[in-house]
A and B are shown apart, each in its own frame.
Chain A
Amino acid sequence: MNFNLQWTWFHRLGSPRWFYQQTQRWLPWLAVATLALLVTGLVWGLAIAPPDAKQGNSFRIIYLHVPASVVALAGYYIMAISGAVGLIWRIKLSFMLMRSAAPIGAALTFIALVTGAIWGKPTWGTYWVWDARITSMLILLFLYFGVIALRHTYSNNEAADKAGAVLSLVGMVNVPIIYKSVDWWQTLHQPATIKFTGAPSMHPDMFAPLVVMIIGFYSFYSLALILFARAEILRREYRASWVKQLVSNQPAEK
């Protein structure tokens, strides 16, 4: 009896229908929370916090750049782990989450790169510097592109999912290797290391809004992930009776 219940719970967790129905309820709250966090963090960081002594006001870009980088990197791990769960336990929903994670992660990596480049101009006079972090971010972007491109190689969803999961896992193993080797390469050639204002050395007045923004970006990531996953569920489960019922009760607008 007990085993049955546990299995049902686990099974339910992997059901696209359950996911769709649950998120229907929580989505508006998540959206509000995301907006609140981002607006608070931005207003605080852009208008209230004091500027950096050396970099001046351009340092405020940190409130976009760092959260985007952190979540972009975490997003890759989320994508890879969803792929692994899908491979090991054959959970379709997990694969759908993996698929959704790819474009979001790529977009955030792009934001990190662009904001980093824009930040570079007033700070070091050039839009691009081959420092370890930015170079690793660029390689991460290509890793994301690879996962997105691979799915078009396979005509059936199941194979595409599995291949994407394998590739994400291979990438995941590589991310720390790439990071370490790029870091080592950079110290070889540029002994004067360029450091963004490190977290511990940052004044708490500047650090607090950064924390808010990081949490806000994680919240945004969850929001976007759920939205993409819901669309994916409808696309793939179009034959299911619960979907047909859903659409009949709620005809599409426009």
Chain B
Amino acid sequence: MANNLSGGFKAYLYRDILIAQRDRGDLSKPLMFFLLVAVMVPLAIAPEANKLSAIAPGLIWILALLATLLSIERLFSEDYADGSLEQLLISPNLLMMPILGKITAHWLVIGLPLTLLSPVIAIWFSLPISAMVPMMLSLALGTAVLSLIGAVGAALTLPRQGGVLLALLVMPLYMPVLIFGSATIQAAVDGLNWLAPLAMLAALLAVAIVLCPLAISAGLRIAKNG
């Protein structure tokens, strides 16, 4: 019986990671984007260390946000196209579990590597070492929230995909995450208490884990029936 509760979670987690692994290209594209745009910024703005470090906290976060947006659309689209979405919806498990499994897989494949890559960008932007750990913590927690909220948008736009609508729907919802995420890094740079905004991120994550699957399952059912 315990199997039924968490069974869906593990099954879909492994499945999605396996699928992602098979198509390495898809996996690396958002991360490449993340790095590429980061390179463009000094070229477009200024190579001076003080200017870059001033905008670094927010910029790193915006890049993480864009990279997540690029990749989240694909979360349900292939399943929708080949009929496995029906399987997901009629599974005996709590619908929340397969959904969380897929989103966790997405985070492991996009958000986590992004977090691990971020020190590279931090060095490019002359972010002080003291801010590294807070930055990575904020990205680790924040990208999870971004994946969760992004999945809501992905589920609601299933019938007609084409990135921009998803971005439009999801961006306003992303703003609090962006605010607290970049504030964590900025607080660390300024030597202030960075645990406070980080705690807010953790709170957002807790709320998102509970509420997003509800909206996602509603959206998936509408897409299937409509």
Choose one: B159, B172, B176, B215; the contact of A154 (CB below 8 Å). B159
B175 near A149 with CB under 8 A, answer no
A163 at the interface (CB under 8 A from B): yes
Q: How far is the CA of A170 from the CA of B212 in the complex (A)?
A: 8
Interface residues on B, range: 20 to 34
User: Complex formed: what's the CA distance from A146 to B149 in Å?
Assistant: 14
Residues on A with beta carbons closer than 8 Å to the beta carbon of B159: 153-155, 159
Q: A142 to B172, Cβ gap below 8 A?
A: yes
Which residues 110-124 of B have a CB within 8 angstroms of A?
none
Residue B180, interface by CB 8 Å: yes
Q: Which of A150, A156, A158, A166 contacts B215 (CB 8 A)?
A: A166
* Residues in A neighbouring B172, C-beta threshold 8 A: 139-140, 142-143, 146, 171, 174, 178
Q: Which residues in chain B, 168-202, are within 8 Å of chain A measured between CB atoms?
A: 168-169, 171-173, 175-176, 179-180, 183, 200
Shortest distance between the CB of B47 and any CB in chain A (Å): 25
B157 interfacial by beta-carbon distance below 8 Å: yes
> Known: A150-B156, A170-B215, A185-B179. Contact between A163 and B222, CB under 8 A?
yes
B222 touches A166 (CB 8 A): yes
Q: Which residues of B contact A162 (CB under 8 A)?
A: 218, 222, 226
Q: What distance in Å separates the Cβ of A250 from its nearest Cβ neighbour in chain B? A: 34
A181 to B130, CA, bound (A): 25
CB nearest to B176 among chain A residues = A181
Interface pair A171/B218, CB less than 8 Å apart: no
* Minimum CB distance partner of B218 in chain A: A166
A127 contacts partner chain B, Cβ-Cβ < 8 Å: no
Question: Does residue A145 face the partner (Cβ distance < 8 Å to B)?
Answer: yes
**A residues in contact with B226, CB < 8 Å:** 154-156, 158-160, 162-163
Q: A153-B159, A155-B159 are in contact. Are A171 and B173 (CB under 8 A)?
A: yes
Max count, chain A CB within 10 A of own CB: residue among B152, B175, B207, B225: B175
* A182 close to B (CB within 8 Å): yes
B residues within 8 Å of A by Cβ?
A: 152, 156-157, 159-160, 165, 168-169, 171-173, 175-176, 179-180, 183, 200, 204, 207, 211, 215, 218-219, 222-223, 225-226
